[in-house]
């Protein structure tokens, strides 16, 4: 069993070698020689392209040219000694066999199958991100290692791609436990057996066995994961500091953690920590856009909770109205992190809630409406996004939009976390601070609306 577990974390998806005399670095050559399976004609190929696109999105921002995935038929097996190759022209070649292995049998469970293939593809994208073809030349990418020096370089390249590939697939939302969990041993053992057998059959002069062996690569990857486990406390500590409203320490924690794992949620939380610091500096300002309680969300998924509402505007610390250079710097830092988070995953609803709060703060109300709408398109009952949208809508033209904005805020259900936020904002819209009419005077937001109709 122990030996099998060691086999678990291999990566045989490394620098492939051609068994023929043709060693081409152009994806079009592969399509011409072996043919291509397109996503329109094969459901598994379509699935592979979806995974590939998700991984590419998670790799952002990057200066790399957009890569392309080319899936070639199983009939090419007899000519090749690898099922996954990376080309200098940013093409990633997959043999259909690796899709069948990833998605077949137990892999027909979508989560497991997608995670298996995501590791293969993430490993290959790591080679592109590291520009390994620039370090070793195209022959390094496609030739067997015929001497020990080449083999040593290949091992280091593969170790790096192993680590980065595992992190990248996790950032893209795939489950690393399906790669590292003991119940997945059969997948890796089967892959190793098939690929090793193929390598031996390609030709007597092939020296691909000089690539890092399973046991050593597993040891290296486990070693890195142990180190990373020790870094996880930066995220949990940052969450704790945020919850204690020490946003400066929270930003330091999230920034530190982002150096190891720049996932969408880390960048979102880092931007939110900067944003909250900026808002603290203007808590006493009387500007209309700064009075409202804007919905924001801290993503604390790593603490076994998906979302936690964290409305701003209820900070009790007595501060001056400091719309100074530090305030502007913090807002710019928040904007940068939000945009990076969006680049990682344009479908991440949480960041649009926070970005809309930022836009209201900088008085870009029309765009704030648009950004909140992006979250609402994912879920029309995203009450935090609705709160921000109609605050921004109101602020575009208070006289014209007041009634509609208040009706929308009043529709936020009592049982939601955004209900109290809506009550506070309705009180402000009706002039609570100037007239002495506080939100607490009304049992529900509908009672407040009834008052307004009188």
231 has a pLDDT exceeding 80? no
Average pLDDT, stretch 438-448?
A: 49
The arithmetic mean of pLDDT across residues 353-378, rounded, is 92
Distance separating alpha carbons of residues 306 and 394, to the nearest angstrom: 30
Cα atoms in the 13 Å half-sphere on the side-chain side of 287: 15
Question: Which of 371, 375, 361 lies closest to 418 in space, CA to CA?
Answer: 375
Which H or E element spans position 371? helix 365-378
Q: Name the fold adopted by 232-453.
A: 1.25.40
The percentage of residues in the chain with a pLDDT greater than 70, rounded to a whole number, is 67
C-beta of residue 154 within 8 angstroms of C-beta of residue 135: no
Q: Residue 315: is the preceding peptide bond cis (ω within 30°)? A: no
- In angstroms, rounded to a whole number, what is the distance separating the alpha carbons of residues 113 and 101? 9
Partner residues linked to 80 by β-bridges: 18
Q: State mean pLDDT over 31-40.
A: 88
Altogether, the residues listed in the chain come to a count of 454
CA distance 353 to 342: 11
Query: What confidence tier does 412 reach under pLDDT thresholds 50, 70, 90?
Result: confident
- Dig out the tokens for 446 from the structure: 């509908």
Q: Are the beta carbons of 131 and 194 closer than 8 angstroms?
A: no
Q: What Cα–Cα distance (Å) separates residue 454 from each residue in 396, 427, 450?
A: 26, 16, 7
| Per-domain residue ranges of the chain | 2-230, 232-453
Is residue 337 within 8 Å of residue 271, measured between CB atoms?
yes
Instruction: Give me the mean pLDDT over the 252-281 stretch.
Output: 90
Residue 190, both tokens: 């089967």
Question: For the segment 138-183, what is each residue's pLDDT rounded down to a tens digit?
Answer: 433 334 445 566 667 777 787 788 788 888 888 888 887 777 655 4
Answer whether 81's CB lies under 8 Å from 105's CB: no
Q: What is the pLDDT of residues 107-123, one digit of tens each?
A: 457 888 898 899 889 98
Phi, psi angles (nearest 5°) of residue 404: -65, -40
pLDDT average, residue stretch 409-413: 83
What local confidence, expressed as pLDDT, does residue 53 receive?
Answer: 94
Which has more confidence, 240 or 302?
Answer: 240
Task: Grade residue 217 by pLDDT with cuts at 50, 70 and 90.
Answer: low
pLDDT tens digits for range 181-208: 554 444 555 565 566 555 444 444 444 4
Mean pLDDT of the chain: 75
* 3-state SS, residue 95: strand
CA gap 396, 368 in Å, rounded: 10
- Return the DSSP state at 85: E
* pLDDT exceeds cutoff 70 at 79: no
DSSP summary character for residue 297: E
């Amino acid at each position: 069993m122990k030996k099998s577990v060691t086999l678990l974390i291999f990566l045989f998806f490394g620098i492939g070698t051609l068994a023929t005399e043709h060693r081409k670095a152009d994806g079009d050559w592969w399509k011409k020689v072996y043919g291509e399976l397109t996503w329109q004609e094969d459901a598994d190929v379509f699935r592979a392209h979806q995974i590939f696109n998700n991984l590419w999105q998670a790799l952002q921002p990057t200066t790399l040219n957009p890569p392309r995935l080319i899936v070639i038929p199983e009939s090419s097996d007899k000519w090749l000694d690898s099922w996954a190759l990376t080309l200098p022209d940013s093409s990633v070649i997959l043999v259909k066999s690796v899709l069948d292995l990833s998605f077949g049998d137990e892999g027909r469970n979508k989560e497991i199958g997608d995670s298996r293939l995501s590791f293969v593809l993430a490993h290959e994208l790591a080679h592109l991100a590291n520009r390994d073809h620039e370090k070793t030349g195209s022959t390094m990418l496609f030739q067997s290692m015929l001497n020990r020096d080449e083999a040593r370089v290949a091992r280091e390249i593969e170790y790096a791609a192993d680590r980065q590939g595992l992190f990248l697939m996790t950032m893209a939302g795939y489950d690393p436990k399906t790669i590292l969990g003991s119940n997945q041993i059969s997948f890796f053992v089967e892959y190793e057996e098939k690929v090793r057998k193929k390598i031996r059959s390609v030709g007597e002069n092939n020296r691909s066995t000089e690539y890092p062996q399973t046991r050593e690569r597993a040891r290296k990857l486990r070693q890195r994961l142990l180190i990373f486990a020790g870094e996880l406390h930066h995220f949990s500590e940052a969450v704790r500091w945020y919850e204690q409203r020490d946003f400066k320490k929270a930003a330091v924690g999230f920034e530190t953690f982002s150096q190891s794992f720049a996932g969408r949620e880390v960048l979102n939380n880092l931007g939110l920590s900067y944003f909250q610091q900026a808002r603290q500096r203007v808590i006493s300002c009387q500007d209309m856009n700064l009075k409202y309680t804007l919905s924001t969300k801290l993503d604390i998924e790593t603490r076994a909770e998906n979302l936690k509402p964290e409305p701003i505007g209820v900070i009790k610390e007595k501060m001056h109205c400091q719309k100074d250079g530090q305030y502007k710097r913090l807002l710019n830092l928040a904007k940068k992190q939000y945009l990076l988070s969006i680049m990682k995953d344009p479908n991440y609803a949480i960041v649009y809630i926070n970005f809309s709060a930022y836009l209201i703060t900088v008085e870009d109300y029309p765009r704030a409406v648009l950004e909140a709408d992006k979250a609402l398109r994912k879920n029309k009952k995203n009450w935090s996004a609705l709160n921000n949208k109609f605050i921004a809508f109101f602020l575009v033209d208070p006289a014209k939009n007041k009634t509609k904005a208040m009706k929308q805020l009043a529709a936020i259900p009592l049982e939601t976390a955004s209900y109290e936020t809506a009550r506070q904002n309705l009180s402000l819209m009706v002039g609570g601070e100037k007239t002495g009419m506080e939100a607490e005077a009304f049992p529900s937001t509908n009672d407040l609306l009834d008052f307004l109709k009188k």
